[in-house]
Amino acid sequence: MKGTVGELGEFGLIRELTSRLTSTPAVQIGPGDDAAVVAAPDRRVVATTDVLLEGRHFRRDWSTAYDVGRKAAAQNLADIAAMGAVPTAVLLALVVPAELRVTWPVELMDGIRDECQVAGAAVVGGDVVRGETITVSITALGDLRSRPAVTRAGARPGNLVAVTGWLGWSAAGLAVLSRGFRSPRAFVEAHRRPEPPYHAGPAAAELGATAMTDVSDGLVADLGHIAAASGVDIDVRSAAVDIPAQMTDIGQAVGVDPLHWVLTGGEDHAIVAAFPRDVKLPARWRIIGDVTAPAGRTPRVTVDGAPWDKAGGWDHFGPDA
């Protein structure tokens, strides 16, 4: 597999990419026709889309194509799980420069395929065009298995707030990388390749979660979306949030309070949800806060009863984005 994307041509590249895919029983018609056909057993389909740009969402010197593929798929599949659905399928719209070596999109596709397999989904279709900037647009589909979707709007005063998955690891890894280091490896890996707890989304729905989202913009920011949609206040107890000793060490080394990473770091795609107080949560969930009636006119998220100054989250057009 030598040469560039331009030398291989569009149809050659598509052949190369689709030849590497695996399927699942849900895929009734896969890539190669005008459109794919995917099972939607409960008569509804959950759908989400996200786009990643080189230079903005990933750097080729920091992440391999394979890792970019894993990450691009993960962030979409996590959105499906955060509705309480089981991921079924992914579509890829890819922009690549003609002078890019073919190995890059091929390894990207391997990463997307493998992340799909972790989540139980398959790549069913896509489009590839030539352009200046590598652009990876992914759409993910999922099935709700006869359960109601868990939106951001159902949190009620008296609910508890719980989280599962990783928090702040990607942000700590990015801090390490942006200072020119490549270790500690666990955090660098977490930045390159998140591991969303896909199974936890449908499990939370089954347990009666009233509101749910994945942590893509940062815990405080994403809880803010739940607070706003539900019309409630949410208070996070910082002592209840897990900060690994090694993250504290990195924080000291680079001069950052690790709580900042945990409360504002996105991209790990942890799943955070509100539950009725009497819920019996599995071991890997941590209860980190409470839902209360809104104290003021605007729903808000507090940490230990006070506003969190650096509310975190990303505005992709803002000066720091």
Q: Which residues are annotated as a binding site for Mg(2+)?
A: 34, 48-50, 79, 127, 214, 217
Q: Nearer Cβ to a second copy, position 83 or 250?
A: 83
Q: Give residue 175's Cα distance to chain centre.
A: 19
Q: How far, in Å, are 41, 73, 86, 88, 194 from residue 44 at the CA level?
A: 8, 21, 12, 12, 28
CB closer to a second copy out of 153 and 240: 153
* Nearer Cβ to a second copy (159/230): 230
Both structure tokens of 320: 């720091």
Q: DSSP per residue over 58-114, as a string?
A: B-TTTS-HHHHHHHHHHHHHHHHHTTTPEEEEEEEEEEE-TTSBTHHHHHHHHHHHH
Q: Would you call 253 helix, strand, or coil by DSSP? A: helix
Q: Smallest distance, Å, CB 301 to a second copy? A: 16
If the CB atoms of residues 145 and 185 are measured against a second copy, the closer one turns out to be 145
Question: Binding site for ATP, residues?
Answer: 126-127, 152, 216
- Residues with Cβ within 8 Å of residue 276, at least 6 apart in sequence: 158, 159, 208, 210
Residue 47: CB minimum distance to a second copy, A: 5
Instruction: Indicate the residue type of 208.
Output: G
Closest CB to a second copy among residues 9, 179: 9
Q: How far apart are CA 17 and CA 103, in angstroms?
A: 10
**Smallest separation, CB 225 to a second copy (Å):** 9
- Tell which phi-psi region holds residue 9, choosing left (phi > 0), alpha (psi between -120 and 50) or beta: left
Q: Which is nearer to a second copy, 258 or 299 (CB)?
A: 299
Cis peptide before 184 (omega within 30 of 0): yes
Cβ of residue 204: shortest distance to a second copy, in angstroms?
12
CB contact at 8 A, 265 and 189: no
Closer of 109 and 124 to a second copy (Cβ)? 124
Please, what is the minimum distance in Å from the beta carbon of residue 8 to a second copy? 7
Residue showing tokens 């009620």: 156
CB of 38 to a second copy, least distance (A): 5
3-state secondary structure of 256: coil
Report the alpha-carbon distance of residue 295 to residue 287 in Å, rounded: 22
Contact between residue 166 and residue 195 where contact means Cβ atoms under 8 Å apart: yes
Q: How far is the CB of 316 from a second copy (least distance, A)?
A: 4
Per the annotation, binding residues are 34, 48-50, 57, 79, 126-127, 152, 214, 216-217, 267, 314
Question: In angstroms, what is the minimal distance from the CB of 29 to a second copy?
Answer: 6
Residues annotated within the binding site for substrate are 57, 267, 314
Q: Which is nearer to a second copy, 34 or 309 (CB)?
A: 34
Distance CA 34, CA 96 (A): 22
